[in-house]
Chains A and B, each alone.
Chain A
């Protein structure tokens, strides 16, 4: 069964550095999402993406964040200048219609 994949599984970075988190959605899916989960808390929506543009974004998704689909398979989340509070698990998800399937996540640790 096809799955969403994400790389890296764990990223450690210094405050102020840029990070790029990568996702490969399920191949026939057209809708892509990023969520984050701070340790022990609920999953929070960041952004949705369809037809090469952002469909919706949350207030968390400020100017430090950007998303891109650089080719036909990858979907990336960039954080330009990381802050301590960006430390979280970042999940990519994709859907064909309503049902969203999640990747294994990237644990981002900002020191």
Chain B
């Protein structure tokens, strides 16, 4: 089955700096890659996603890149703010609309003043 690895497990950046979180996946059939932000005790909240026919997607300060050949994708957050502090999970989804999401192990991002 699919296996998703995520690095780093913790990341501390100063406000205004950029943060990059990287994920790799094992199943070349996976074709949809969402990123979720989870604040303590809250639900995972979708922040951006990318499909396998696209190499890059941007939404204001957040961008995601996908390298299908290397089977890795990354989340980039620019101009970080304290409210960006949370745990971020990447995920991969196989073909089939009801296919499960396989999550990475999460990255705890701390944005310091």
Which residues of the other chain, A, contact B32 by a CB distance below 8 angstroms? 98
Which residues of the other chain, B, contact A82 by a CB distance below 8 angstroms? none
Q: How far is the CA of A82 from the CA of B22 in the complex (A)?
A: 36
Q: How far is the CA of A61 from the CA of B45 in the complex (A)?
A: 24
Which residues of the other chain, B, contact A42 by a CB distance below 8 angstroms? 89, 103-106
Binds B, one of A12-20, A72-80, A99-107: A99-107
Binds A, one of B59-67, B69-77, B78-86, B91-99: B91-99
The interface on chain A, measured as residues whose beta carbon lies within 8 A of the other chain's beta carbons, has a size of: 25
Which residues of the other chain, B, contact A49 by a CB distance below 8 angstroms? 98
Q: Which of A43, A55, A98 contacts B44 (CB 8 A)?
A: A43
A50 touches B43 (CB 8 A): no
Interface size class of B (residues with CB under 8 A): 20 to 34
Which residues of the other chain, B, contact A97 by a CB distance below 8 angstroms? 97
| Distance of A36 from chain B, by nearest CB (Å) | 11
Among A50, A58, A100, A102, which residue has the most Cβ atoms of chain B within 10 A? A100
B43 touches A58 (CB 8 A): no
| Distance of A20 from chain B, by nearest CB (Å) | 20
Query: B54: CB under 8 A from chain A?
Result: no
**Residue in A closest to B4 when the chains form the complex, CB atoms:** A42
Q: How far is the CA of A98 from the CA of B45 in the complex (A)?
A: 15
Which residues of the other chain, A, contact B91 by a CB distance below 8 angstroms? 43
* Mask: chain A, 87-101; 1 = CB below 8 Å from B; 0 = not: 000010001011111
Give the A-binding residues of B (Cβ under 8 A): 32, 34, 36, 42-46, 49, 51, 89, 91, 93, 96-106
